[in-house]
Structure 1
Amino acid sequence: MEEDVQYSTVQFKSGASAPKNNKEELSVYSSIKIKKPLTSVTQNKDDNIIYSQVELKNLFQSEPSNQNETIYSDIKEGEQKRQKENGPKVQAAGRRFCLLAVCSGIICFLLCASIIIIIIYFTMETHKQKQNLSELEAKNKQLNLEKRLLQNKTEDLTMNVTKLENQTEQLTAEKKFFEIQIKKMTVNPTTILQKQIEQLRSNSEAIIKYTNFPGNLFCPDGACQTCPKDWIQFKGSCYFFSYFNDPWKTWDESRQFCQRKNSDLVVINNHEEQTFIKNRIEYYYDEWHGYWIGLRRINNNWIWVDNSQDTLGYWKNPGSSDNFVHIVHDHPLKQSWVQIRNGFQNRFICEVKAFIF
């Protein structure tokens, strides 16, 4: 902005000039009379002219004057006066505006900072929750894996215990058998000879016991044997175990096969015979396949093929409604008989009395 300059002119009416040698002080009293009132229009002009009347009292002591001198002056006022009058107000308003703007800026900054902090906080919390959830899922998977491992170990231990029990029973049976043999060996030789004589007598009658002696079974090629070929002797009987891979047979088909060999399906009479048979069968295909034995249900009674009633009852599934029985490998000795339907196909066991001669 350009600097405003005020100009004033003073005109003396009498045309007198001030004395040169004036020892006393001059006192000037003036009064300013505004000829035209200032309006909004005049205030906006660059130069405003103010007329004032100046009255001099005792201006000169040496020359008294009875008449007051009136001096008119023109005062030109620019924008500087208005700035001096309105400057403080504008500056105060500006300072208030600046203060308000600064306060508003600070408040906006604090709000933005608060919002950013809240967003960061919730983001961190969400990340922590996701991380915790991932850790929990990993722990859950690990626990499930450990649970399955423990279940598998438990099953393995159960199977091992069962096998140990079976082996214990087998060893017990073999122990009893060897004890009997030892007792027989310690008997008086005379007694042994008498028993051998009696045995020979009974052997001479062995052929008579057969209604139709199967000579082709016991005496192939003219040489008689205690058991037929591929049969296994246990005490007074011979046993045939069908180890055929296929085709397997139903219960009826298995019995017909045994009868064609002048024998029948096996009849288990005691615990020793059960142990003998159980130790010679083998696992095949799956745990439900086994070997047919000569036991079936007739009139709700379990009858062997020799028409004797069963008294052992080594059942695996006693509540079944099926009427035929086979013996399986992977079960305890006294829980190895499984009730099953006749149409199921299995291997089988035949039994015939040994030919002792």
Structure 2
Amino acid sequence: METNKQKQNLNELDEKNEQLNLENILLQNKTKDLMMNVTKLEDQTKRLTAEKKFFEIQNKEMTVNMTILQKQIKQLRNNSEAIIKYTNFPGDVFCPEGVCQTCPKDWIQFKESCYFIYNLNSPWKSWNESQQFCQMKKSDLVVINNREEQTFIKSRIEYYHDIHHGYWIGLRRINNNWIWVDESQDTLGYWKNPGSSEKFAIIVHDANLTHSWAKNRNGFENRFICEIKALIF
């Protein structure tokens, strides 16, 4: 009887051991599943982190692009406001490549005007030819309105060839009055040779500031200065 009891106990132990083995196998499987899920979660976390960084970079790029776009819009608005000031805006002169500048290329700005100083050694031009050249550039020969502008112009010209040569300005005599190309009458009278009977005017370098305009004939060939209103943004 004792032996049978022991056998019974042994069988029960075997069954419990087998049960434990099964539970251990189940636990191992669950552990594997859990580890797989953890790995998946880690992969998802890495992917989400990478996507977050990607979107952060995209957001920064969009912010930069938006700032650039806002600056471009502001520039276009400023351009539009400046262009409105012109009756016939010379876009080909100020915006040759679609980007507008205060002054055309190779022109010099002084206050609200731009100046083109023709400094080539040759060919020089008559007063009429000079004015025609300026008009092709949507401008006119320079109109000197005050001493400050006279000082600026005088500082930009140079001596060339001889004392008789200078730069044509937009001043000529009409009905015994000296009239600028904008049809205003001259009030400065910075003449070097006031007694001359010639009807057109040049400004010369080798003379005092307020005595540097010389009367000259139209056919005499000189350098010249063009002026156009600046595109103020």
Q: Within 5 Å, which residues of 2 pair with 1:224-243?
A: 224-243=100-119
1:211 CA displacement: 2.5
Per the TM alignment, residue 204 of structure 1 is displaced from its structure 2 partner at its CA by 4.7
Structure having the higher Rg: 1
Aligned to 2:23: none
Where do residues 92-107 of structure 1 align in structure 2 (5 Å cutoff)?
Answer: none
- Specify the alignment match of 2:19 in structure 1: none
| Partners of 2:168 and 2:201 within 8 A in 1 | yes
Aligned AA (2:180): W
Alpha-carbon separation, structure 2, partners of 1:308 and 1:202: 31
Tell me how far 1:222 sits from its aligned partner: 1.0
Q: Aligned residue for 1:314?
A: 190
Structure 2 residue matching 1:274: 3-state secondary structure: helix
Q: Give the structure 2 partner of residue 303 of structure 1.
A: 179
Matched residue type, 1:330: D
**Which residue is 2:92 aligned to?**
216
- Separation of aligned partners in 2, 1:203 and 1:321: 46
The residue number in structure 1 matching 2:223 is 347
Cα separation, partners in 2 of 1:204 and 1:223, compared to 1, 3 Å: closer
Deviations 1:75-102 (A, max 9, x none): xxxxxxxxxxxxxxxxxxxxxxxxxxxx
Change (3 A) 1:213 1:265: same
Q: What SS is found at the alignment partner of 1:220?
A: coil
- State the alpha-carbon separation in 1 of the partners of residues 211 and 79 from structure 2: 37
Partner of 2:147: 271
Q: Which runs of 4+ in 1 moved over 6 A?
A: none
SS in 2 for 1:308: coil
Q: Does 1:294 align with 2:154?
A: no
Aligned partners of 1:202, 1:272: CA distance in 2, in Å?
28
How far 1:203 sits from its partner (Å)? 6.8
TM-fit CA distance, 1:205: 3.6
Offset from partner CA, 1:8-33 (integer Å, 9 cap, x none) = xxxxxxxxxxxxxxxxxxxxxxxxxx
Q: CA deviation at 1:265?
A: 0.3
Structure 1 residue 356 corresponds to structure 2 residue 232: yes
Match of 2:158 in 1: 282
Q: Is the 8 A contact 2:79 2:100 kept in 1?
A: no
Structure-to-structure mapping, 1:71-150, within 5 angstroms = none
Quote the Cα distance in structure 2 between the aligned partners of 1:268 and 1:205: 27
What letter is aligned with 1:341? R
Q: Within 2, Cα distance between the matches of 1:294 and 1:308?
A: 11
Runs of at least 5 residues in structure 1 that lack an aligned partner in the other structure: 1-200
Query: Which of 1 and 2 has higher RCO (CA within 8 Å, sep 6+)?
Result: 2
Cα deviation for residue 240 of structure 1 reads: 0.2
Q: Deviations over 1:187-245 (max 9, x none)?
A: xxxxxxxxxxxxxx997543123222111111121111000000000000000000111
Q: Residue 257 in 1 paired to residue 133 in 2?
A: yes
Count of aligned pairs between the two proteins:
158
TM-score (norm. length: structure 1): 0.43
Partners of 1:214 and 1:205 in 2: how far apart?
Answer: 14
CA shift in 2, pair 1:317/1:235, >3 Å:
same
Deviations 1:164-198 (A, max 9, x none): xxxxxxxxxxxxxxxxxxxxxxxxxxxxxxxxxxx
CA distance in 2, matches of 1:326, 1:246: 17
Instruction: Give the SS at the match of 2:183.
Output: coil
Structure 1 vs Structure 2 CA RMSD: 1.6
TM-score calculated relative to the size of structure 2: 0.65
For residue 356 of structure 1, report the CA deviation from its aligned partner: 1.2
Within the alignment, does 1:330 sit opposite 2:206 as a pair?
yes
